A and B are shown apart, each in its own frame.
Chain A
Amino acid sequence: MAYSAAAETHEHHEPQSFVTRYIWSQDHKVIAIQYSLTAISVGLVALVLSGIMRIQLGFPDSGVVDAATYYQFMTMHGMIMVVYLLTALFLGGFGNYLIPLMLGARDMVFPYVNMLSYWFYLLSVIVLLASFFVPGGPTGAGWTLYPPQAITPGTPGADWGIITMLVSLAIFIVAATMGGLNYVTTVLQCRCPGMTLMRMPLSIWGIFIASIMALLAFPALFVAAVMLIMDNTLGTSFFMPAVIAMGQQLDHEGGSPLLFQHLFWFFGHPEVYIVALPAFGLVSDLISTHARKNIFGYHMMVWAIVAIGVLSFFVWAHHMYVSGMNLSFGYFFAISTLVIAVPTAIKVYNWILTLWRGDIHLTVPMLFAVGFIITFVVGGLTGLFLGNVVVDIPLADTYFVVAHFHMVMGVAPILVVFGAIYHWFPKLTGRMMNERLGQLHFWITFLGTYAIYFPMHYLGVLGMPRRYYAYEDYAFIPQSAHDLNTFITVVALAVAISQVLFLVNLVWSAFHGKPSGDNPWNAASLEWQTPDTPPKHGNWGASVPVVHRWPYDYNVPGAPRDFIPQTDPRPETGEPHGGPGPQEGKA
């Protein structure tokens, strides 16, 4: 396939000034760090919002927020976590950093577009956060922004907040599209000699397929946002039916709120996998490296990623079982939802089989990886419940759903984020993160999240509705449920505060951590074989590397060490499998 001369030929003279090197930077590594720090910062805002909401739920008498503010915080928390933290961090952060390094490229194929992508992303974050300061505050429509209530008077932020939210999303989509074009083109065009598609680390496969999905799915949100802005500001009726709000007949008629739901979830469900697939990929590499064993069933893993990517475009309406759509549709979407569990289960089995009889090193990244597998299984199993129409209908809009999606979409990817940061931090900085602090961080986070979300399943089965600001005077909610809510709040605050451990570790280790050397984990994949750590501008010194094997050669009998780097030439004799192509030496 293709290795691009583009990486070699276009100018790689190193930027000299501080501004061109660290601010208006076109270097994928700097852009990755910019993306990550911005995403983590905005994620901390969302974490604080969730803490405030939990105080309200656990201690309703505290009066910390009123109902309107609660909805605004809920909306912002959801949107920030899903889009501005996870999507940006996995694609913009890890994608940017790892794609060129893992594929032996000098940079992304379009460095300038890459830079623009980050600045558009930052702009979208600024517009989003600005909504806290506009008249009426941010929108409180829920992260799904369903019309009619999103733009109906009486919903918090219905005049300005919703507009800043939609404009911010539109800008984010432009940023994500520019990023996605770069990631996909780089993967297809800029691999070093010997790096066939089927030799790419699974991290890259996950990010690659997720980027393609983002290119297909985000336009749906864009269209929905544009049409909703038009309904709000120009008086059209794409989504707005005839509504009487606050005793007034609104100027809309004939629009279809269901149309918005279809568009939103045509984006929304692939979005789940846009976050999950990079997480799947990264965790595969963590497990293989720290279990010192090749990934079990590499091809199966690749095809499972592709299959999940394709199937995820045919399940969106399982978010709409209770919206009054045709029952036959529900049947179709229930089937497709259950079918998607097959490739997902294949991945879980393969992770477990990779661990099986591996030389497991319980390093901090490995702890997070194993924590991910467990959490993902738990969250995925409740997904099977909710995927069935008949089970979903009583559970819809209860805390069961909250528990499900926080387990599978919140905690699981965040565990991967943490594991991946602990794993790749030495490459970014040349220093190790503190092991003790990392272990403490892991156990508090892992056990804490279970203490938070496990009880929520019971609350959901009890019928406790989600999205409520207070639960006083509901006869069917016993005192024990209130006590459980208080317990959840206390744990949630403890877990939230414990994240300071991680931040302290991150900052302290960047300057004072133990020097790591080039390859502290003895990993075989290409990014650990750079001539410098952290890699310099252009990544590879005088010439790009040549790859001779897949990234999972661990514990090969007869090899001098328990891993063989991808750049190691194969032994001369007895090699049955295709090495790099005949022309590779001419690089």
Chain B
Amino acid sequence: MSFWAQHAPGRGTIEPAWGNRQPWQGPVDRSRVALRGLLLLLVPLTSMFGLVVSAYFMRRHMGDWQAVPLPWQLWLSSALLLASSVAFERARRITAPARLAELQANLAAAGLLALGFLATQVWSWQALAGQGYALAGSAGGSFFYLMSGLHALHLVCGMVAWLKVRTAARVGTELATVQLYVRLCAIYWHFLLAVWLVLFATLLSG
């Protein structure tokens, strides 16, 4: 590695050699760019949810912390989100053009299950509020609503993407494009599932 400018006899300072040997790997296609873009989007989202979790732990270590009893609906919603992710994964694995109908069915199931998840989350908020844990009641409650709310908001945005995929799959867009959309959506779904499991585990831990 040449940290310093290099000198060549008779040519003065020249470009350092290190790091310039990678050959050009040829044109990269659109799907790869989209994939990179999506993966990059997960960076700020990870940062955001990570910071919420750290804030939760910092707050929990203060003296007056009271845990909220988590409503049982959260187990149901977790199962629904898991199922939704599985359906997306099944849709993603379909590559044969002949199985387009199956892809569409899995896609529809994934969307409906995700809607079910959102509805169950709302149900759990109502259940918790019904037990007297209002949003502004205690720190634990506030954090629960904040975490599940932020997560739900991101899934709602995902549903917009889901609508676009579903339309693309219906109107007979080129299969490769549909598959790209499904793949991107599936990654986002798996990411949100992972985020939810972390948030849920955090809430369960106290």
Chain A residues in the interface with B (C-beta under 8 A): 1-6, 8-10, 109-110, 177, 180-181, 184-185, 188-190, 193-194, 196-199, 212, 215-220, 222-223, 226-227, 230, 234-238, 251, 254-256, 259, 262-263, 266, 294, 296-300, 303, 549-550, 552-553, 555-558, 576-578, 580-584, 586-587
Contact = CB atoms under 8 A, between A and B. Distances in A.
Given A2-B25, A297-B5, 19 more contacts: A5-B27, A5-B28, A110-B37, A181-B37, A184-B40, A185-B40, A189-B28, A194-B24, A198-B19, A198-B20, A223-B48, A230-B142, A230-B146, A236-B136, A236-B146, A297-B4, A549-B15, A583-B23, A586-B26
Contact of A196 (B19, B52, B139): B19
Given A220-B47, A236-B136, A552-B15, A181 B41 contact: yes
B59 interface: yes
A181 B37 CA distance: 6
Given A6-B28, A216-B44, A299 B55 contact: no
Interface of B: 1-5, 8, 10-30, 32-33, 36-37, 40-41, 43-45, 47-48, 51-52, 55, 58-59, 62, 64, 135-136, 138-139, 142-143, 146, 150
B2 A299 contact: yes
A237 B136 contact: yes
A1 B25 contact: yes
A216 B51 CA distance: 10
Nearest to A193: B24
Contact of A581 (B15, B22, B29, B150): B22
A10 B33 CA distance: 12
A296 B150 CA distance: 47
**10 nearest interchain CB pairs?**
A581-B23, A198-B19, A5-B27, A219-B48, A235-B136, A581-B24, A236-B142, A550-B15, A219-B47, A578-B21
A525 to B, nearest CB: 13
Contacts of A581: 22-25
Given A181-B37, A262-B58, A3 B28 contact: yes
A72 to B, nearest CB: 28
B177 to A, nearest CB: 13
Contacts of B47: 215-217, 219-220
Contacts of A577: 14-15, 17, 20
A262 B51 CA distance: 10
B40 A226 contact: no
A259 B55 contact: yes
Contacts of A296: 4-5
Given A193-B24, A196-B22, A223-B51, A237 B142 contact: yes
Contacts of B10: 557-558
20 contacts: A3-B26, A6-B28, A109-B37, A185-B36, A189-B32, A189-B33, A194-B24, A198-B20, A199-B15, A254-B62, A255-B139, A297-B5, A298-B16, A300-B3, A550-B15, A550-B20, A557-B11, A577-B15, A578-B20, A583-B26
B42 to A, nearest CB: 10
A555 B14 CA distance: 10
A387 to B, nearest CB: 24
Contacts of B22: 1, 196, 581
Contacts of B18: 198, 299
Contacts of A4: 27-28, 33
B139 A237 contact: yes
A263 B55 contact: yes
B19 A299 contact: yes
B56 to A, nearest CB: 10
A3 B27 contact: yes
Contacts of B36: 185, 188-189
A565 to B, nearest CB: 14
Given A234-B135, A557-B10, A299 B33 contact: no
A109 B33 contact: yes
Given A1-B25, A197-B19, A558 B11 contact: yes
A3 B44 contact: no
B142 A238 contact: yes
A583 B48 CA distance: 41
Contacts of A262: 55, 58
A22 B18 CA distance: 42
A583 B24 contact: yes
A523 to B, nearest CB: 16
A552 B15 CA distance: 8
Nearest to B65: A254
A220 B51 contact: yes
Contacts of A254: 62, 64, 138-139
Nearest to A197: B19
Contacts of B41: 177, 181
B1 A226 contact: no
Contacts of A190: 33
Contact of B24 (A263, A549, A580): A580
Nearest to B66: A254
Contact of A185 (B33, B51, B143): B33
Contacts of A218: 44
A299 B20 contact: no
Contacts of B58: 256, 259, 262
B51 A556 contact: no
Contacts of B20: 196, 198-199, 550, 577-578
Contacts of A298: 5, 15-16
A259 B53 CA distance: 12
Contacts of B25: 1-2, 581, 583
Contacts of B142: 230, 236-238
B135 to A, nearest CB: 6
A266 B52 CA distance: 13
A586 B23 CA distance: 12
A313 B200 CA distance: 27
Given A194-B24, A226-B146, A238-B142, A215 B44 contact: yes
Contacts of B33: 4, 6, 109, 185, 189-190
